[in-house]
Amino acid sequence: MSKPLKFVIALAIPLILGFIGSYFTRKSVNTWFVNLNKPVFNPPNWLFAPAWTVLYILMGIAFYLVWQQGYAPNMRLAFVVFAIQLLLNLLWSALFFGLRNPLLGFVDIVLLWIFILVNIILFYHLERVAGLLLIPYILWVTFASVLNLSILILN
């Protein structure tokens, strides 16, 4: 497979999953979410879409950097962990916004954080830049975890 095609696919995977997740968010962000008690540090709603878009692009680039090295048995775990963290990311939107359940969202985001950390470590050992590109992601999810927990406590 050509490098440009790999790059497009690597970017498309997280962006498509993010778009699917936004379906759940759009249904609740201007209805249910508006009525929740939120902490004072809750960012404005408009910030989330561009922040997540950048993070999905960084995830795609990180995946591409590892994937372009080819495939070896030692990469399998990194690809599996990458896929799991993407699915947990999508699941969070479905749980928190789709089911309107901050408790299940919090359980999911804790698991997501763990898988992102493992993903960073695995990618870093395969391609340092790929691991480093995921640091903004774990920082954002750390903030989102605190936000999720605060909403759970306040409601």
CA distance linking residue 23 with residue 94, whole number of Å: 9
CA distance linking residue 155 with residue 13, whole number of Å: 34
Domains in the chain, ordered, with CATH?
3-154 (1.20.1260.100)
* Contact in structure between 88 and 100 (CB atoms under 8 Å): no
Helix (H, G, I), strand (E, B) or coil at 101: coil
For position 71, what pLDDT does the model report? 77
Query: CA 142, 148, 149: angle at the middle one, nearest 5?
Result: 95
pLDDT digits (tens, 9 = 90+) for 38-90: 999 999 999 999 999 999 999 999 999 999 987 778 799 999 999 999 999 99
For the chain, the residue count is: 155
pLDDT digits (tens, 9 = 90+) for 134-153: 999 999 999 999 999 999 99
pTM, rounded to two decimals: 0.95
Q: How confident is the model at residue 155 (pLDDT cuts 50, 70, 90)?
A: very high
